[in-house]
């Protein structure tokens, strides 16, 4: 309801039927998009536009848009408590620095409705990421009147006055999570940053991995600690969406790293490029660029093949030992029919388990099973 950005992908709510626990399912590519400061002519305000446009009826607008987004009828609007929405709005107005920046833009439009205004969400921070510092409006956002100068960083988010399309924001922006989850980050504080150093790391330290990874950051944030209140752990259903979003961010960062490390993987020596060059193609730059996924990437083809080979090696080692032991037991305890029958059952169970591993760990079998059952590519928590 109070999000600045929209969430990509398709949220499947059909699974939440009956009395089972709530499940958040998301299919497709996940990303965050942000719109302009003001809606286009004839359109209703959405997301961040609600902080600027028609703020006199802001509570009613948020209530109606929230009900429309979850496909509820108009009669269920009374279920939402307007008093709670008003209190949350006042809390964000007084504490959240991102909200304060949008309110400043609102005041500028009220003074001059025809002003060409842009809001710059700054992506570079100067303070140490290990120290918790309350953000200030001047360090988080800036209002720009007129044209944009050359001091804009490549990670800065520029929100224009009116534009027909939405802009996708980077997962590496410090305010990426605060824009989507203002109730989990009530002060507009920073999320993950690429320059957060590890503990006891100084500028003179010579470490191969001096900075914190995205997975380490989320593992630290979702940890439940004694004598410390965790807002993420006590937000009922919202943490499920937050964790799914965090997982997709980690996957995106891994894919981005693999795409930029193709030279170190010697991807130019793979079969397609070599065969194209051997066939007489002098210009192989026209061939579509291929990104090689290493076996360390979860659910990749090489990851599946490595797990399959490991499973077959374990099955071979276990089956060889069990076969010898079974023959010895048959020769020594042949008079014990019950024990022999039990061992036969165990042996058959191990054979069946081996073939189950073979079928489940093969990548092609997984694709056929997913296609047959029409299972979407989704993350379920």
Instruction: Return the closest-CA partner of residue 54 out of 38, 41, 66, 67.
Output: 38
- Residue 238 phi, psi dihedral angles, 5° rounding: -60, -35
pLDDT in tens, 280-303: 655 655 555 567 777 777 777 778
Q: Is the pLDDT of residue 352 over 50?
A: yes
What mean pLDDT is predicted for residues 224-232?
88
> Does residue 374 have a pLDDT over 80?
no
Q: Could you tell me which residue, 143 or 31, shows the higher pLDDT?
A: 31
Q: Coil, strand or helix: which one is 61?
A: helix
Q: Residue 154: is it exposed, middle or buried by C-beta count within 10 angstroms (0-12/13-18/19+)?
A: exposed
**Backbone phi and psi for residue 195, each to the nearest 5 degrees, phi listed first:** -110, 30
Burial zone of 11 (CB within 10 Å; 0-12 exposed, 13-18 middle, 19+ buried): middle
User: H or E segment at 159?
Assistant: strand 157-159
Q: What percent of the chain has pLDDT over 70?
A: 67
Residue 222 host element (H or E): none
H helix intervals, 96-222 = 97-111, 137-140, 176-180, 214-221
**pLDDT tens-digit profile of 177-188?**
999 999 999 988
Compute the 3-state secondary structure of the chain and give helix, strand, coil in percent, each to the nearest 5: 45, 10, 45
Buried b (16+ CB within 10 A) or exposed e, 306-331: ebbeebeeebeeebeeeeeebeeeee
Residue 9 main-chain phi, psi, to 5 deg: 80, 180
3-state secondary structure 242-280: HHHHHHHHHHHHHHHHHHHCCCCCCHHHCHHHHHHHHCC
Model confidence at 231: pLDDT above 70? yes
Q: Is the pLDDT of residue 157 over 60?
A: yes
Which tokens belong to 53? 């446009």
Q: Is residue 192 over pLDDT 80?
A: yes
**What was the pLDDT predicted at 376?**
41
Give tens-digit pLDDT for 28-61: 888 888 888 888 887 888 888 899 988 888 888 8
The pair of structure tokens assigned to 372 is: 């047959």
Kindly report, residue by residue over 307-340, the tens digit of the pLDDT.
777 777 776 666 666 555 555 555 555 445 555 5
pLDDT given for residue 181 in this prediction: 92
* Measured distance CA(170)–CA(185) in Å, rounded: 18
Alpha carbons 195 and 180: distance in angstroms, whole number: 21
How do residues 250-272 score in pLDDT, each as one tens digit? 888 888 888 877 777 655 555 55
Mean pLDDT in residue range 114-141: 74
pTM of whole model > 0.75?
Answer: no
Which SS3 state, helix, strand or coil, does residue 211 take? Answer: strand
CA nearest to 380, candidates 33, 1, 11: 11
**What is the mean pLDDT of the segment spanning 339-367?**
59
pLDDT, mean over the chain:
75
Q: What residues contact residue 177 under an 8 Å CB cut-off, 6+ apart? A: 184, 185, 191, 192, 242, 245
């Amino acid at each position: 309801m109070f999000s600045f950005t929209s969430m990509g992908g398709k949220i499947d709510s059909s699974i939440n039927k009956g009395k089972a626990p709530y499940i958040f399912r998301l299919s497709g590519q996940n990303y965050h998009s942000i719109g302009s400061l003001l809606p286009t002519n004839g359109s209703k305000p959405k997301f961040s536009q609600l902080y600027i446009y028609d703020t006199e009826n802001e509570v009613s607008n948020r209530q109606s848009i929230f009900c429309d987004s979850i496909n509820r009828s108009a009669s269920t609007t009374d279920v939402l408590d307007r008093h709670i929405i008003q209190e949350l709005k006042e809390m964000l107005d007084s504490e959240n620095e991102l909200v304060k920046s949008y309110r400043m833009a609102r005041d500028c439009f009220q003074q001059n409705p025809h002003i060409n205004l842009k809001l710059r969400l700054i992506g570079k921070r100067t303070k140490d990421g290990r120290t918790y510092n309350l953000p200030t409006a001047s360090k988080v956002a800036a209002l720009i009147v007129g044209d944009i100068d050359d001091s804009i960083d490549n990670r800065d988010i520029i929100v224009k006055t009116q534009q027909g399309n939405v802009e996708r924001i980077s997962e590496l922006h410090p305010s990426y999570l605060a824009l989507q989850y203002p109730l989990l980050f009530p002060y507009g504080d920073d999320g993950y940053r690429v320059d957060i150093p590890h503990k006891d790391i100084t500028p003179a330290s010579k470490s191969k991995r001096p900075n914190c990874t995205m997975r380490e950051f989320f593992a630290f944030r979702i940890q439940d600690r004694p004598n410390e209140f965790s807002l993420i752990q006590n937000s009922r259903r919202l943490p499920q969406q937050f964790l799914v979003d965090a997982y997709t961010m980690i996957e995106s960062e891994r894919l981005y790293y693999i795409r930029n490390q193709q030279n170190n993987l010697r991807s130019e020596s793979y079969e397609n490029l070599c065969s194209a060059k051997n066939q007489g193609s002098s210009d192989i730059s026209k061939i579509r660029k291929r990104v090689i996924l290493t076996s360390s990437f979860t659910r990749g083809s090489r990851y599946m093949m490595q797990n399959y080979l490991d499973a077959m090696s374990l099955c071979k080692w276990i089956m060889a030992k069990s076969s010898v032991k079974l023959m010895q037991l048959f020769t020594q305890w042949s008079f014990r029919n019950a024990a022999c029958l039990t061992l036969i059952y165990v042996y058959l169970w191990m054979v069946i388990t081996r073939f189950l591993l073979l079928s489940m760990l093969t990548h092609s079998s997984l694709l056929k099973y997913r296609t047959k059952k029409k299972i979407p590519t989704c993350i379920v928590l």
